[in-house]
Amino acid sequence: MKSALVRIARSDAYTVHEIQSPTGTTIREYYGASGVVFGVSWDGEFPPDLRQLLGSYFEQYRTAAQTTRRGRKARGRLAIDDSTLIVRTAAHTRSFFGVAYAPNLVPAGVSPSVVR
């Protein structure tokens, strides 16, 4: 991504790496104590490379997004909710926001709502 690490925030159960992309988009990666990423979020003027950001979950996201968006406009809000991947995105002119997490990877005792 050629991004710069801006800040690291730690709690007992997880760590957040805040990254600034070259386009100015802020990306947050949420790591459990085991070092595994359980969620990501982004906001900025430009969308991030979701293929890179979602990794092995990208194809699942792409398939679900195509199914959800059939017959709807390509921009705006998107909600994907299945047992292994939760994604919420919103887009307006020069404003992109999203959160994605794997429910089965969220550490015990941590609410998925921390991914924001």
Residue-wise pLDDT for 88-97, tens only, equals 999 888 899 9
User: Which residue segment(s) compose the domain that 91 sits in?
Assistant: 4-114
- Single pTM value for the model: 0.89
Using the Cα atoms of residue 82, residue 85, residue 73 and residue 75 in order, give the sign of their dihedral. positive
**For residue range 22-60, what is the model confidence (pLDDT) as tens digits?**
889 999 999 999 999 999 999 999 999 999 999 999 999
Nearest to 79 by CA among 96, 98, 53: 98
> What is the total count of domains within the chain?
1
